[in-house]
Structure 1
Amino acid sequence: MNTVNKINEKLKEMISTLLSKQSDNGAWNFCFEGSIMTDAYMIILIRTLEITDEEVLVKDLVERIKSRQSPNGAWKVYPDEDKGNLSATIEGYFSLLYSGYVGEEASYMRKTERFIRDNGGLAKSDWLTKMMLALTGQIKWPSIIKNIPIEIMLLPRWSPITIYQLVGYARAHWIPILICSNLNKLFVAPQTPNISHLQERLMDSENDRILEEMQNLQLYFKHALKKLSKSPEILKKEAFIKAENYIIERIEENGTIYSYFSASFFMVFAFLALGYDANHPLIRNAFRGMKSYLCRNAEQPFIQNSPSTVWDTALLTAALQQAGVSYRHSSIMTANNYLLSRQHQKYGDWAVNNPDVIPGGWGFSDINTFVPDIDDTTAALRAITPLTQTNILYKEAWNKGVEWILSMQNDDGGWSAFEKNMDNYLLSLIPFKYEDRVLFDPSTADLTGRTLYFLGEYTTIPLESEIFQTAKEWFERNQEANGSWYGRWGNCYIYGTWAAITGLKAIGVSNDDPIISRAVKWLLSVQNEDGGWGESCASDIKKRYIPLPHSTPSQTAWALDALISASDNPTSKIEVGIHALLNILEANDGRSNYPTGAGIPGGYYIHYHSYKYIWPLQAFSHYKNKYDL
C-alpha cells in the first residue's frame, strides 16, 4: 500500500473514531491529564473539610498516586525526569499519609522519605507546594509571602506595581494565598500528618537570602501605601474585603475560580481563613465543581486541573473539516453550535489593559465564561469560519472574535495567552522560580504563530499590514541562534518553531527568507532516526532543546506540519516523517502518552488525550491538500 493510501486509511479510521466519541451536545470530552498534584490536593481538601462520604474517591486517588510512584520512592512530573520531582514527591507522600490508607512504615514510603531528605527537604520545594505545606502546618509561612501585604489589593491600577500586573491565573492563586498568609492561618486537625521533620534546611536562612532580594519591592509597597492616607487598620480591613470580593466575583457557575482546580483549592482555604464555615455554600459549591473535574475515561480515575473541552472541540472540529468532513455534516454542525454557545459575553480581567473592546473570545473549559484566551479563540474561529457565509449568527460571532483577537496584539507585535501587555518586570523582583513564565503573560512564539496562521489563512487582512509586519519583527527578535523558537504552552522548541513557521508562511513570508530557512534547517537537524520527532519536557526547564529517545505523535505532527507549509513539494524527509507518524499511531503505545502540553515550568506538564488525534489529523490533511494527493 502506497503512502497516500495509508494516509487515507488512517484518516478514515480516525474520523470514524472521533465521530463515535462525540458527546450529544457536540463537544468532545477528552481527558486533560497532569501530574499527581490535583489528586493529592483533592485528598488533602477532603480531609481538611472532614467530608465523610467520599471514601470511594479517596481510595481511587490513593491507588492512582501509588501507581505513579517510581521504584526509588519519588514521583515525577514527566516520565524521563531525572530521579524524580521533589515537590510532586512531597505532595504524594503527604496526601497518602493524610488519606489514612497508607502508613509511613510502608517500605515504599520509607524510600519516599529518604528521597525527600536527600533532595533538600520541604524547604526546597516549589512555591505552590510550600503554600500547601504552610496551610497544613508543616512549615512556617515563608517570609517572602508574609512580607507581601494584603494591602497590595488597594494599589490603584495606574500604580507602577499592582496586583493586575500579575497574569490572571497567577492572581487567582496568589490572592487566596495572601489572604491566608496575612491572617497567618493554618489548618491542622488531629488526623493531619506531621512531616515537619523533613524540613532539612533552616527556612529562616533561606528566607533571609530571598528577603534581601525583595528589599526594593518592600520599600515601594510601604511608600505607596503611605499615599493612601488612611490608618493602617482601615487599610488592612479594606484590603481583605477587596481580596474577598475579587475572588467571589470570579467564581464560575460550577463554584470554581477561573475554572482551575488548583486555584479553587487555595480559594477554599482563603474562605476558611476568613471565617467561613466548612458547610458554607461557596465552599460546598467549590468542592462539587472541583469533584466534577474527575476523569474516568482512563485506566485510573484522576482529577483534571481544568478540563480542555472547548480547546479539544475547537481543534477537532477544524481538523475534521480539513480532513474532508463537510461543515454541513451533522457532527460538525452540532460541534459548531456548541462552540457558538461558548463564546464569551462577559468582560473579564483582560479588559483592564484592553478597555472599550466588546467581548468575543473563547475560553479553555466548558464552564469558563470570562477568562478567554487567544489560542482557544483562534481555534474556535477556524472551526466556525465555513458557516459565516450563510449564517448571520456565526458571522456576527466571527466578527466579534476577530476584533477581539486584533485588539489583543501586544505593543511588541506579538500575542500573549490571556492578557495584553503583561510584561511589567518590576514584579520580577519577587524571586519566584520561572517568574517570567509563571507570573506574567509575555508574547510567545506559539500564541503569535497560531494567531498569524488564523489571520493569514482565514481573514482578508492585507499581507503588508502593520499587524503582520510588527509580528514578523517580533519573531525576528526572538528567534534562537539555532533557528528555533521557544514555545510556552507546549513542549517546547518543536512546538514554538512549528507555530512560528506556519504562522509566518500564512502571512506570505518566503521559504527563502532566512527566518524560515534557518527554522527549517533546525527542524531537520533534530529529526530522529525513526523519522519522527520527540522532545523532552526538560527543554522547558533548561531552556534549550533536549531530545527524547523516541518520537511522539503530536511532536512529529507539529514538525511535519511546519515542513509541509515551507515546502512546495514533498521531500524525502517529509516522506520519512509521514511513515514514522503512521507507525507511531499504529503501535499506539506509551509514546502516545508522553506529556507534550506545558503548564508550570518544571512543575506541571499535560498529556492531552486528544492530541494523538488532532495533530496527526491536521498534518495528514495538510500533506494531502497541499500536494493534491
Structure 2
Amino acid sequence: MVRGAEPAPAARRVVIGARTRIERSGLDLVIERAQGWFERQQYPEGYWWAELESNATMDAEYLLLTHFLGARNEHLWRGVAQDIRNYQRDDGSWAMYHGAPGDVSTSIECYFALKLAGDRPDAPHLVRARAFIRERGGIARARTFTRIWLALFGQWSWDELPIMPPELMLLPPSAPLSIYRFSSWARGTIVPLLLLMDDRPVHPVPDSARLDELRVADAAPRVPRDAIDRLFRGIDGALRAYDRLPFHPFRERARKAAEQWILAHQEADGSWGGIQPPWVYSLMALHALGHPLDHPALKKGLLGMHGRWMLRHGDGRLRVQACLSPVWDTGLSLLALVESGVHPSVPMVQQAARWLLREEIRVPGDWCVQVEGVEPSGWAFEFENDLYPDVDDTAVVLLALHKADALDAETRERALRWVLAMQSRNGGWAAFDKDNTSRLPALIPFADFGEMIDPPSADVTGHVVETLGAFGLARSHPAMERGLRYLYAHQEKEGSWFGRWGVN
C-alpha cells in the first residue's frame, strides 16, 4: 500500500457498515445488561428506590432536633456524627451540594452538631471548620433558618430574628401573605415556626458545645438591598411593636389553628409534606406546646425518621435523607424499560405498573384551596405524601403506565382531569399548586433561605405536554395551546429550557 492512500469507495462502505453493526451490537448488550440490573434491583412490592442525595444539614439537624426533644440515642448519634464528618471538605467547610463552594450556614450547623456530639474543639476538623466560618463573618452572617436553630439553644437571640406572628394562620387564602401564598414546602415549614417563634423556647447546651468562638466582632447580618427591602424591614419593625403589646386578641385562636393544622397534616409515615424541614420543625413545635414524646404525633414522627428515612452504611455511618423518591424512581424506571423494548407482559413491568396504580392519591390535599370541584387524583414523589400530589410525578407516571399498556380508562380520565385543572393562568404547570406566583413571600425579611413560591416551570410543563400528546390531545386543544405557548416563551436564549426540579 502507498502511505496515505484512501481505500476504494466500496471497501470504505464495507468497513463503516461492519463498525456500525459492532456498535449496535455493543449498544444492545449495554441495554440488555441495564434491563437485567433493573430486574435485580426491583423491590418485591414492584417499586424501585434509591437514595435521594442532599447535604450534611439533614444529619446536623437530626442531632439538633433530638437534643431539643430530649431523645438522644448514643448509637444513632455516633453514626450520624460520622456521616457529618465524612461530608466535610478539605477547607474545613460543608457545602450545599456536591461540587458547590463551602457554605457558612451549613458549616455552622455541622460544627454545632459535632460539638454537641462530643467532638473536641481542638480536633483538626473543627479547627479547620472554625477558621472557615470566622473568615466569612461567623454566625451573624448565617441565614435566618440557621440562626433560628441557634436561638433554640441559646446561641442567638430571638430578638434578633425577623418577626412572624401566629396571626398569619387566620388570614384567608386570598390574602397577600396567607400561608397558601407560600409554596407547599415553605408552608409546611412556616406553620410550626409561627409557634416556635412565638414561644421562643431555649434548650440549654453544655458549655463545651457553646458557639462563642464563632462570634466575630463587627460582623452583622446583611444590610437592606434596596427600597423594597427597606420597606419590608419597616413592616418587620411595626410587627415587633405589635408583638410587644400586652394584649393580642387573636393570638390564642391563631396558635390553636396552627397546632390543628400541624396535626392534620402529618402523613402516615410520620413525616410532614414528605420532606425533612417541615418534619423537624413540626416535632419541635408540638413538643414546645407541651406534648410529651409518647404523644401519637411525636411518637410516629420519631419512629418514621428512624425507619427507612435513615440509611445505614456498612462502616457504621447513618444518613438522614431529605426526602424519599420511590414514585419518581419507579415511574422513570418503568418508562425507560418499556422505551428500551421490554414488553408490557414481562413480570417486572406488570409489578411496577400495579404498584404505581396503587399509589394514586384519592384524597383531597392543600391543592384544593386553589382548585375546587375536581376529583382527587395524582401521584406524589414519596411513599407517603397524600396531601401533596405533584404534577411532575403524575405526568411521568401516567406516561409510563400508558406506554406499559397498564392504564385503565377510569384512572386515565380521572388523572387527566386533575392535571388539566392544575394548569396555571399563564399556561404552565407548577409542581404542587396552581397560580402560586406571588412575589411577596420572597420579600419578607424571614425569606433568605431559598424558594418561597411554586410557580410554573418549563420542565414540569414539558413533561405534561409530552404526556398529553401521548394521550392523543391535539395541538389545538386549549390546554395544549396554552402549554406550548408557555414553553415557547420560556426557552432560554441558547435554545435550552431551565430545569427547576433538577437536570430535567
The TM tier, using the shorter chain, reads 0.7 to 0.9
Spell out, residue by residue over 1:136-173, the C-alpha distance to the aligned partner (whole angstroms, 9 max, x if none). 2211126453x221101111123233111001110111
Change (3 A) 1:442 1:192: farther
> What displacement does 1:15 show?
0.7
Match of 1:33, SS state, is: coil
Spell out, residue by residue over 1:294-342, the C-alpha distance to the aligned partner (whole angstroms, 9 max, x if none). 1237875411111101110111111111111122211111111111111
Match of 1:43, SS state, is: helix
Give the aligned partner of residue 5 of structure 1.
25
* Cα distance in structure 1, aligned partners of 2:159 and 2:31: 54
Give the aligned partner of residue 214 of structure 2.
198
Change (3 A) 1:144 1:128: closer
**TM-score (ref. length: structure 2):** 0.88
Equivalent residues in 2 for 1:167-566 (5 A)? 167-190=183-206, 193-200=209-216, 206=222, 212-215=230-233, 217=235, 233-292=248-307, 293-296=309-312, 300-386=317-403, 394-431=408-445, 438-456=451-469, 458-491=470-503, 495=504
- Picking from 41, 46, 64, the partner of 1:26 is 46
Give 5+ residue unaligned stretches, structure 2.
Answer: 1-18
Change (3 A) 1:45 1:158: closer
Spell out, residue by residue over 1:90-125, the C-alpha distance to the aligned partner (whole angstroms, 9 max, x if none). 12111111112x111102211111110001211222
8 Å Cα contact 2:326-2:381 kept in structure 1: yes
Change (3 A) 1:317 1:201: farther
2:172 maps to amino acid = P
> What displacement does 1:473 show?
2.1
- Picking from 60, 63, 68, the partner of 1:40 is 60
> What displacement does 1:203 show?
7.8
Match of 1:32, SS state, is: coil
Give 5+ residue unaligned stretches, structure 1.
Answer: 226-230, 496-629
8 Å Cα contact 1:444-1:488 kept in structure 2: yes
* Cα distance in structure 1, aligned partners of 2:173 and 2:187: 14
> What displacement does 1:21 show?
0.8
* Cα distance in structure 1, aligned partners of 2:251 and 2:47: 45
* Cα distance in structure 2, aligned partners of 1:192 and 1:431: 32
* Cα distance in structure 1, aligned partners of 2:159 and 2:188: 19
* Cα distance in structure 2, aligned partners of 1:18 and 1:301: 26
Spell out, residue by residue over 1:550-579, the C-alpha distance to the aligned partner (whole angstroms, 9 max, x if none). xxxxxxxxxxxxxxxxxxxxxxxxxxxxxx
> What displacement does 1:194 show?
0.9
Equivalent residues in 2 for 1:570-609 (5 A)? none
Give the aligned partner of residue 87 of structure 1.
105
* Cα distance in structure 2, aligned partners of 1:160 and 1:29: 39
Give the aligned partner of residue 156 of structure 2.
139
* Cα distance in structure 2, aligned partners of 1:221 and 1:75: 35
8 Å Cα contact 1:177-1:266 kept in structure 2: yes
8 Å Cα contact 2:272-2:279 kept in structure 1: yes
> What displacement does 1:460 show?
1.5
Change (3 A) 1:87 1:40: same
* Cα distance in structure 2, aligned partners of 1:328 and 1:201: 69
8 Å Cα contact 1:153-1:242 kept in structure 2: yes
Change (3 A) 1:416 1:118: same
Spell out, residue by residue over 1:204-257, the C-alpha distance to the aligned partner (whole angstroms, 9 max, x if none). 7658889734157559989x99xxxxx953400000000111111100112211
> What displacement does 1:347 show?
0.6
2:47 maps to amino acid = A
Spell out, residue by residue over 1:462-481, the C-alpha distance to the aligned partner (whole angstroms, 9 max, x if none). 11222222222222332233
8 Å Cα contact 1:362-1:373 kept in structure 2: yes
* Cα distance in structure 2, aligned partners of 1:291 and 1:207: 41
Match of 1:295, SS state, is: strand
8 Å Cα contact 1:31-1:307 kept in structure 2: yes
2:437 maps to amino acid = D
* Cα distance in structure 2, aligned partners of 1:341 and 1:221: 47
* Cα distance in structure 2, aligned partners of 1:469 and 1:141: 51
* Cα distance in structure 1, aligned partners of 2:220 and 2:132: 22
Change (3 A) 1:469 1:199: farther
Query: What's the % identity of the aligned pairs?
Result: 28
Change (3 A) 1:234 1:20: same
8 Å Cα contact 1:382-1:454 kept in structure 2: yes
Give the aligned partner of residue 72 of structure 1.
91
8 Å Cα contact 2:147-2:161 kept in structure 1: no
Match of 1:453, SS state, is: helix
8 Å Cα contact 1:342-1:369 kept in structure 2: no
> What displacement does 1:426 show?
2.6
1:311 maps to amino acid = W
8 Å Cα contact 1:139-1:196 kept in structure 2: no
> What displacement does 1:387 show?
6.0
> What displacement does 1:388 show?
5.6
* Cα distance in structure 2, aligned partners of 1:34 and 1:121: 24
> What displacement does 1:429 show?
2.5
* Cα distance in structure 1, aligned partners of 2:224 and 2:213: 21
8 Å Cα contact 2:68-2:284 kept in structure 1: no
* Cα distance in structure 1, aligned partners of 2:219 and 2:187: 25
Give the aligned partner of residue 12 of structure 2.
none
8 Å Cα contact 2:141-2:220 kept in structure 1: no
**Looking at both structures, which has the greater relative contact order when contacts are Cα pairs under 8 Å and sequence separation is at least 6?**
2
Change (3 A) 1:239 1:137: same
Spell out, residue by residue over 1:578-602, the C-alpha distance to the aligned partner (whole angstroms, 9 max, x if none). xxxxxxxxxxxxxxxxxxxxxxxxx
Higher Rg of the two aligned structures: 2
8 Å Cα contact 1:310-1:365 kept in structure 2: yes
State the Cα RMSD in Å: 2.7
**TM-score (ref. length: structure 1):** 0.71
* Cα distance in structure 1, aligned partners of 2:391 and 2:293: 37
Change (3 A) 1:360 1:31: same
Match of 1:368, SS state, is: coil
1:251 maps to amino acid = Q
